[in-house]
Amino acid sequence: MSTLWPYATPGIPDALFEQLPGIPLSSREVRLLLLGYLRLRPTDVLWDIGAGTGTLAIEAALMCRQGQVVAVERDEDVADLIRRNCQRFELSNLTVVQGSAPEVLDHLSPDPNCIFVEGGRSLKTILQAAWNYLPPGGRLVVTVGNLEGLYSVSETFAQLQVRNIEAAQPAVNRLEVKGNHQVFTAVDPIFILSGEKV
pLDDT digits over 149-176, tens only? Answer: 999 999 999 999 999 999 999 888 889 9
The answer to whether 96 touches 73, Cβ cutoff 8 Å, is yes
User: Residue 14's pLDDT is what?
Assistant: 95
- Residues 1-26 pLDDT 10s: 789 999 989 999 999 999 999 888 88
Element (H, E) at 36: helix 28-38
Which pLDDT score is estimated for 174?
Answer: 87
Domain presence at residue 108: yes
The string of pLDDT tens digits covering residues 21-50 is 988 888 999 999 999 999 999 999 999 999
Whether 161 is covered by a domain: the verdict is yes
pLDDT at 172: 86
Q: Look at residue 169 and tell me if it is in a domain.
A: yes
At 110-131, the pLDDT tens digits run: 999 999 999 878 999 999 999 9
Domain-embedded: residue 174: yes
Give the pLDDT of residue 23.
87
Higher pLDDT, 185 or 90: 90
Cα 194 to the center of its chain, rounded Å: 12
Of 105, 44, 53, nearest in space to 79 by CA: 53
In a domain, 121, yes or no: yes
Domain span at residue 78? 14-196
Predicted pLDDT at 1: 72
State the pLDDT at residue 119. 81
The answer to whether 31 touches 53, Cβ cutoff 8 Å, is no
CATH of the domain at 175: 3.40.50.150
What integer pLDDT is reported at residue 113 of this predicted model? 97
The answer to whether residue 132 is domain-embedded is yes
Residue 85 is assigned to a structural domain of this protein: yes
Per-residue pLDDT of 68-111, as tens digits, reads 999 999 999 999 999 999 999 999 999 999 999 999 999 999 99
185 with 27: CB under 8 angstroms?
no
Yes or no: say if 197 and 131 are a contact pair by the CB < 8 Å rule: yes
Question: What's the total number of domains in the chain?
Answer: 1
What pLDDT was estimated at residue 47? 98
Residue 6 lies in a domain: no
